[in-house]
């Protein structure tokens, strides 16, 4: 009888935390910290597989609850294990609208905790078979390197929130590390941000996170970026903050400036995001991307039927690793474009994004990553590097990376010290605008 594949002997769930800048989005200001959950699987062959997913106690508890379903299972049955977890997971009734109004408190219901387990399983399977993870996805490895984009943010002055422990890097020898903790709320400063990022990482494409200032002001920033990088692809993402009328008015003059616009508008007047976005596309000749109105297959069906989007940013933490590559295959066959959305993350997710990007067919758009804002807080001994705007896929089995246990333990201690483990973008906003409350149709600094 043929020997079976290795068996999972142990599953650990390790909640961790890292530091962030006072980045501004529609939902408010990033807190001084962000949280994530790590999954570490060990098998009977002596290999270790790792995965990373969004943070918070809800997600951590969901992962811990399924440990009995994972331990003792043969590696070759990972799909059956994931299916059992997925079908048995309880979903909030509130998740039906995905994140169309960007209610950060509901993000935990959109993210599927089990995809961190999938990542760790695929890492182990790649090690068992002696191939990179990307060879196990879709039609296998499609490219040797994956393009990333420079994710630009307006950044507020952390000194206005003196009681919050934002990281200070003024003494760093790295120009980007110094700059990323400073206030950057003007077009000139955002262009400086982009120039610094290009110098360090070689980015050719940039995305500006909007939903912060008046739409006209944000478009002036986009124009300044295009002037500074005439050959670059400039995109903007206001997270659906603009009304349909406003989105059309703002975006029509930008048809020769923007490469695409991400979630320019959202639900209004009784119409869904998908219906409103379809009307926007009828009025503006710009490709439309989304990570808000197509976060599962049912939503994507309606978005595609209405021809509401051109680019689906299918984050593996929403879709699963096989799911996001399946989406990439479908979009390529239909003449549409695939990409991946990002949230604050450590370098484990960066390595996983690169593997997924390497397996996506066709011509994906440059992938999002927040990692540049966390660069230096590595949990790996061999963190991926972005050079000339690309990540090179390592010629190693599985994810091709190794945990730095000392750093993991340090990040776990930080997690344990925090007053809250859930994301709260309203906390720091109280220092900028007392009594501030989230409004999905008002930029966060417009009150």
Element (H, E) at 47: none
Mean of the per-residue pLDDT values of the chain: 94
Q: What is the pLDDT of residues 316-346, one digit of tens each?
A: 998 999 999 999 999 999 999 999 999 999 9
CA gap 276, 264 in Å, rounded: 10
Instruction: Please state whether beta strands 24-25 and 28-29 pair in parallel, antiparallel, or not at all (unpaired).
Output: antiparallel
Tokens standing for residue 77: 């049955």
Tokens standing for residue 177: 């590390």
- Provide the pLDDT confidence category of residue 4 given band limits of 50, 70 and 90: confident
Give the count of beta carbons closer than 10 Å to the beta carbon of residue 443.
23
pLDDT of residue 110: 53
Whether the pLDDT of residue 7 is over 50: the answer is yes
SS (H, E, C) 379-429: CECCCCCEECCEEECCCCCECCCCECHHHHHHHHHHHHHCCCCCCCCCCCH
Q: What is the pLDDT of residues 139-195, one digit of tens each?
A: 999 999 999 999 999 999 999 999 999 999 999 999 999 999 999 999 999 999 999
pLDDT of residue 113: 86
- Cβ neighbors of 381 (< 8 A, separation 6 or more) are 401, 402, 403, 404
Burial class (CB in 10 A: 0-12, 13-18, 19+), 307: middle
CA gap 13, 69 in Å, rounded: 14
- Provide the pLDDT confidence category of residue 93 given band limits of 50, 70 and 90: very low
Give me the catalytic one of 30, 108, 112, 341: 341
Q: What is the pLDDT of residues 101-118, one digit of tens each?
A: 545 544 555 567 899 999
Average pLDDT rounded to a whole number, residues 200-213: 98
Query: Could you tell me if residue 211 is left (phi over 0), alpha (psi between -120 and 50 degrees) or otherwise beta?
Result: left
pLDDT of residue 101: 56
pLDDT of residue 88: 74
Q: What is the pLDDT of residues 277-318, one digit of tens each?
A: 999 999 999 999 999 999 899 999 999 999 999 999 999 998
CATH 3.30.390.10 domain residues, the chain: 8-135+406-417
Give me the catalytic one of 30, 42, 209, 421: 209
Q: What is the pLDDT of residues 128-139, one digit of tens each?
A: 999 999 999 999
Average pLDDT rounded to a whole number, residues 379-389: 97
Q: What is the pLDDT of residues 9-40, one digit of tens each?
A: 999 999 999 999 999 999 999 999 999 999 99
209 is catalytic: yes
Whether the pLDDT of residue 96 is over 50: the answer is no
CATH 3.20.20.120 domain residues, the chain: 137-399
Regarding the domain with residue range 8-135+406-417, which homologous superfamily does it belong to in the CATH classification? Enolase-like, N-terminal domain (3.30.390.10)
CA gap 154, 317 in Å, rounded: 25
Under a CB-based contact definition with an 8 Å cutoff, are residues 25 and 211 in contact?
A: yes
Q: Which CATH architecture has domain 137-399?
A: Alpha-Beta Barrel (3.20)
Nearest to 354 by CA among 141, 48, 47, 127: 141
Q: What is the pLDDT of residues 255-275, one digit of tens each?
A: 999 999 999 999 999 999 999
Whether the pLDDT of residue 119 is over 90: the answer is yes
Calculate what percentage of the chain has a pLDDT beyond 90: 91
Kindly state the DSSP code that residue 4 receives in the 8-state scheme.
P
């Amino acid at each position: 009888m043929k020997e079976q594949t290795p068996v999972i002997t142990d599953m650990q769930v390790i909640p961790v935390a890292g530091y962030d800048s006072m980045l501004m989005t529609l939902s408010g200001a990033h807190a001084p910290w962000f949280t994530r959950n790590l999954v570490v699987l060990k098998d009977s062959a002596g290999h270790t597989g790792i995965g990373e997913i969004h943070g918070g106690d809800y997600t951590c508890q969901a992962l811990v609850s399924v440990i009995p379903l994972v331990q003792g299972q043969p590696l070759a049955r990972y799909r059956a294990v994931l299916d059992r977890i997925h079908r048995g997971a309880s979903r909030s009734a509130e998740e039906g609208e995905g994140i169309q109004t960007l209610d950060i408190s509901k993000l935990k219901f959109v993210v599927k905790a089990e995809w961190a387990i999938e990542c760790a399983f695929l890492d182990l399977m790649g090690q068992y078979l002696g191939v990179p993870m990307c060879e196990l996805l879709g039609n296998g490895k499609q490219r040797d390197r994956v393009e990333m984009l420079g994710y630009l943010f307006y950044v507020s002055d952390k000194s206005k929130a003196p009681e919050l422990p934002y990281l200070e890097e003024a003494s760093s020898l790295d120009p980007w590390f110094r700059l990323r903790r400073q206030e950057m709320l003007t077009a000139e400063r955002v262009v400086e941000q982009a120039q610094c990022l290009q110098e360090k990482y070689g980015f050719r494409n940039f995305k500006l996170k909007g939903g912060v200032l008046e739409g006209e002001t944000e478009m002036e920033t986009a124009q300044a970026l295009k002037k500074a990088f005439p050959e670059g692809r400039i995109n903007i993402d206001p997270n659906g903050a603009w009304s349909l009328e406003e989105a059309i008015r703002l975006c029509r003059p930008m048809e020769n400036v923007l490469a695409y616009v991400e979630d320019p508008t959202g639900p209004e007047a009784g119409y869904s995001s998908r219906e409103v976005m379809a009307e926007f596309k009828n009025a503006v000749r710009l490709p439309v991307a989304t990570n808000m109105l197509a976060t599962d297959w049912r939503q994507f069906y309606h978005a595609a039927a209405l021809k509401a989007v051109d680019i689906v940013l299918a984050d593996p933490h929403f879709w699963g690793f096989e799911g996001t590559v399946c989406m990439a295959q479908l979009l390529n066959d239909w003449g549409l474009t695939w990409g991946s959305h990002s949230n604050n993350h450590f370098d484990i997710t960066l390595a996983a994004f690169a593997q997924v990007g390497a397996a996506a067919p066709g011509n994906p758009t440059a992938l999002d990553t927040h990692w540049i804002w966390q660069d230096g807080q590595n949990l790996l001994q061999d963190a991926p590097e972005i050079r000339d705007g690309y990540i090179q896929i390592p010629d190693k089995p599985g994810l091709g990376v190794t945990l730095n246990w000392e750093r993991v333990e340090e990040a776990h201690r930080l997690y344990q010290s925090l007053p809250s483990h859930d994301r709260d973008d309203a906390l720091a906003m109280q220092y900028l605008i007392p009594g501030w409350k989230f409004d999905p149709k008002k930029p966060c600094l417009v009150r």
